[in-house]
Structure 1
């Protein structure tokens, strides 16, 4: 065992009576209603969070609205970038503290919290900071005919839309929260974040660090609570955009509500039943380590991770044998143990959902490997490999968002594309092959927002990310986010 010692600063933080973070400071909760935060590895309550009232949400939005029109509006693009970089510096300085908060509340392996969650939060904040001085319009020459010698010129400018509601999921709360913070603040918007009720602490701590970084009070606010808190936020009159990451049903409901609220802008990064295609020429021994990492990172609780594996018939038996052997070697245990390879699911509600899928597979004799819930304390299940009866099998259609992989064989490229696209989702997909020409021919036919070759799951801030079909709308990262957080204003001048 190499169990990590919890920092004194973390112990102190989790024992606080947490309220919300409004206008640059921690606030006491108005309501006595609270939600318990449970360590998924031990099932022990480690802290409680407040449930925001409608009045508290209105206070947070009003603070963001005032900051948008005054404090942040008076901050130059260069200064915005500098302050985001300073926040990135502070995340680095408090990296172990933030990583431990994430692991305690999500069950994420401590090394994953350190080297992916916190480390990539820094990378993304710095990337967004670099865009602050590069948001621009265009000049153009209109074709309006001159009647009396007058001339015309025109230009466009991008202006921030205002207050953003950022609704953050439980799987990567710090990193995804900072995607929304970075996009909003870089473009000149302000933001009110509503974290998941399962994983709230890291974003409350980040909001404190933002004030230390010199980001003005009101620019970043955090309100905590359940789905009702999010509803209050979406319905607020000052919210001009909703940025949501989460499940498809919730995303659809949010999109419909946003449209009713005077066409409030919305970007939705939703789920997926992502496909990985293993072609006939793939070397299983070479691709297996990368494929395992992409599939089972954070116990498969990653929206981009593959769940549907399409294996060429000639490689099917070899793939099943070697994948089974590999996942049976995973060391399952405490996420605070640095030697652990596979931790718990993140919360009881999700644990119960995944158990239902595993029971369904057991009832239908579809389990190739794994498929069991571990006895004892904690929300632990085995990494699982399932065979399916066809592309209409419920286990092949519904997103499990966990360490459950479905496999099916294919023979021709045409069959592969038909089966891959037989899904209401379209977030990500991958092709595993050394035949680049074939991969390049397949990519345009695959209905997904992101397609990888010989990799899967991991993102880069320079590359746009988002889904098609029921997997969402809008794009994160690259320069694509700018359009979603700004209004394009046209100006014409007669002289």
Structure 2
């Protein structure tokens, strides 16, 4: 056991009245409704957050709009990059504090909170900071001939869109928030973030650190609340220029529709997936099992890029199923605040009930569970790591995103059948191929309908590589240089002389 001692500043943060962060200040509605924040490892309420009123949401957008045209517009690109790097420095300085707040509210293992919610988030923030001085237009040689000897010069400018609304999910509440506000601020936009009501705490602390870093008040604001109220108010606000959202396909479709109907707002939508991991026949059973665990069980499967559909050649399925069952049986639930724990809870009671409900339906339809298919008999939202031998591509667990520690295995007989099965989904976020045959892998990559294809790996992302989905998994790209296209508008300038 290596249980972490909760820091005094974390306890103080949990005990205080929390609500919004607007124009550089904490804002808390007194005496109204509050949202309870529960530790999913124990089901105990650890804090309360006041949801934003409509007036507070208006104030957050208005102050962001004012900062966009004022203080942030008057901040040079180099200075923007410096300020984002100062925020990254402060996040590292407060690494343990941020990680503990995250783990206590989401149930994420403390080791993962440190690595992903702080270290990875900081790496992304520094990457965005490096782009602030590299957002460029270009000159254009115009094509049409002059009529009377006049000449023309064309050039393009890239200009920031305005106020960006970032709607953040609960599975990586700091890192994904950084993806949204880091890209927005780097391009000269300002931001209003709405965290999930499941994990509403950590971005309030990051926003405070942004002020300490010197980012002007109003540039980064945080409002809390439930989607139907706070999210809808943001997506329909007339002074919001863009919405960036990570979450479910149905919600993403509603956001896209609302964005079009409320002023043709720009959108970036990362909508999850039912991702495939395909193991070619030359992949050994042990390597296949290692790959399945890597692809499907990080953060208890609560990763939008994780694989939930695993395709194994018929010649390997029996060995793989046997070895996978033994490996999963060794997974033991642990306190996420223990440095030595390897398997944590789901993030909320509601999500726990959703996942266990999918097990009940699968069992009623005759699914064969290789391992798991239930909850651990302990307090908290702990789901057993689960593997199912699918009967067909049409099984519910092969079609609908579970977003938990659940993989379904389906056999295939030929590479042609494998490609058809992998692409037979309304989603297209990620996929992975596992093989020793590089030639075969390179031939298959163009045929796979996914925004990211990994070879002999899964769940690896890097700030230099664009990330986003095909088909129902979304619109737009994050990371790389691609994000610039989605947070700026091109303006054409033509001059006659």
Q: TM-score, normalised by structure 2?
A: 0.98
In the aligned structure 1, how far is the partner of 2:443 from the partner of 2:30?
Answer: 58
- Please name the residue that 1:42 is paired with: 42
- Please name the residue that 2:246 is paired with: 245
Q: Which stretch shows the higher mean deviation, 366-375 or 216-225? A: 366-375
- Please name the residue that 1:416 is paired with: 418
In the aligned structure 2, how far is the partner of 1:100 from the partner of 1:288?
Answer: 32
- Please name the residue that 1:219 is paired with: 219
Secondary structure of residue in 1 paired with 2:21: strand
Provide, for residues 92-133 of structure 1, a one-character-per-residue CA deviation record: whole Å limited to 9, x for no partner. 000000000110011100101112221101100000000000
- Please name the residue that 1:137 is paired with: 137
* Counterparts in 2 of 1:348 and 1:95: CA distance versus 1, 3 Å: same
In the aligned structure 1, how far is the partner of 2:140 from the partner of 2:385?
Answer: 57
In the aligned structure 1, how far is the partner of 2:398 from the partner of 2:135?
Answer: 43
- Please name the residue that 2:376 is paired with: 374
Q: Assess if the C-alpha contact under 8 Å between 1:291 and 1:455 holds in 2.
A: no
Q: Assess if the C-alpha contact under 8 Å between 1:275 and 1:306 holds in 2.
A: yes
Q: Which stretch shows the higher mean deviation, 107-116 or 63-72? A: 107-116
Secondary structure of residue in 2 paired with 1:173: coil
1:161 is displaced (CA, Å) by 0.4
Q: Structure 2: state its 5+ residue gaps.
A: none
Provide, for residues 406-455 of structure 1, a one-character-per-residue CA deviation record: whole Å limited to 9, x for no partner. 00111111100111111111110000001000011111111111100001
1:259 correspondence with 2:260: yes
- Please name the residue that 2:104 is paired with: 104
- Please name the residue that 2:306 is paired with: 305
Secondary structure of residue in 2 paired with 1:400: coil
In the aligned structure 1, how far is the partner of 2:63 from the partner of 2:205?
Answer: 19
- Please name the residue that 2:6 is paired with: 6
Q: Which stretch shows the higher mean deviation, 387-396 or 214-223? A: 387-396
- Please name the residue that 2:272 is paired with: 271
- Please name the residue that 2:21 is paired with: 21
Provide, for residues 28-49 of structure 1, a one-character-per-residue CA deviation record: whole Å limited to 9, x for no partner. 2266011000000000000001
In the aligned structure 2, how far is the partner of 1:326 from the partner of 1:375?
Answer: 19
In the aligned structure 2, how far is the partner of 1:365 from the partner of 1:463?
Answer: 38
- Please name the residue that 1:32 is paired with: 32
Q: What's the C-alpha RMSD, in Å, of the aligned pairs?
A: 1.1
- Please name the residue that 1:336 is paired with: 337
In the aligned structure 1, how far is the partner of 2:291 from the partner of 2:112?
Answer: 15
In the aligned structure 1, how far is the partner of 2:181 from the partner of 2:30?
Answer: 26
Q: TM-score, normalised by structure 1?
A: 0.98
1:487 correspondence with 2:457: no
Secondary structure of residue in 1 paired with 2:436: coil
Secondary structure of residue in 2 paired with 1:253: helix
Aligned residues: 495
In the aligned structure 2, how far is the partner of 1:31 from the partner of 1:151?
Answer: 67
1:375 is displaced (CA, Å) by 1.8
- Please name the residue that 2:209 is paired with: 209
Q: Assess if the C-alpha contact under 8 Å between 1:294 and 1:458 holds in 2.
A: no
1:440 correspondence with 2:448: no
Provide, for residues 142-193 of structure 1, a one-character-per-residue CA deviation record: whole Å limited to 9, x for no partner. 1232222211110001000000000000000100001111100000000000
* Counterparts in 2 of 1:287 and 1:394: CA distance versus 1, 3 Å: closer
* Counterparts in 2 of 1:10 and 1:492: CA distance versus 1, 3 Å: same
- Please name the residue that 1:119 is paired with: 119
Provide, for residues 185-209 of structure 1, a one-character-per-residue CA deviation record: whole Å limited to 9, x for no partner. 0000000000000101110000000
In the aligned structure 2, how far is the partner of 1:293 from the partner of 1:406?
Answer: 14
- Please name the residue that 2:190 is paired with: 190
- Please name the residue that 2:79 is paired with: 79
- Please name the residue that 1:167 is paired with: 167
Q: Assess if the C-alpha contact under 8 Å between 2:279 and 2:312 holds in 1.
A: yes
1:293 is displaced (CA, Å) by 3.0
In the aligned structure 2, how far is the partner of 1:117 from the partner of 1:421?
Answer: 32
1:290 is displaced (CA, Å) by 4.9
1:65 correspondence with 2:65: yes
Secondary structure of residue in 1 paired with 2:159: strand
Q: Assess if the C-alpha contact under 8 Å between 2:60 and 2:223 holds in 1.
A: yes
In the aligned structure 2, how far is the partner of 1:196 from the partner of 1:492?
Answer: 45
Provide, for residues 340-389 of structure 1, a one-character-per-residue CA deviation record: whole Å limited to 9, x for no partner. 11111100111110010111222224211111212231011100000111
1:179 correspondence with 2:179: yes
Secondary structure of residue in 2 paired with 1:229: helix
- Please name the residue that 2:321 is paired with: 320
Provide, for residues 186-236 of structure 1, a one-character-per-residue CA deviation record: whole Å limited to 9, x for no partner. 000000000000101110000000000100000000000111111111111
Q: Assess if the C-alpha contact under 8 Å between 2:277 and 2:292 holds in 1.
A: no
- Please name the residue that 2:386 is paired with: 384
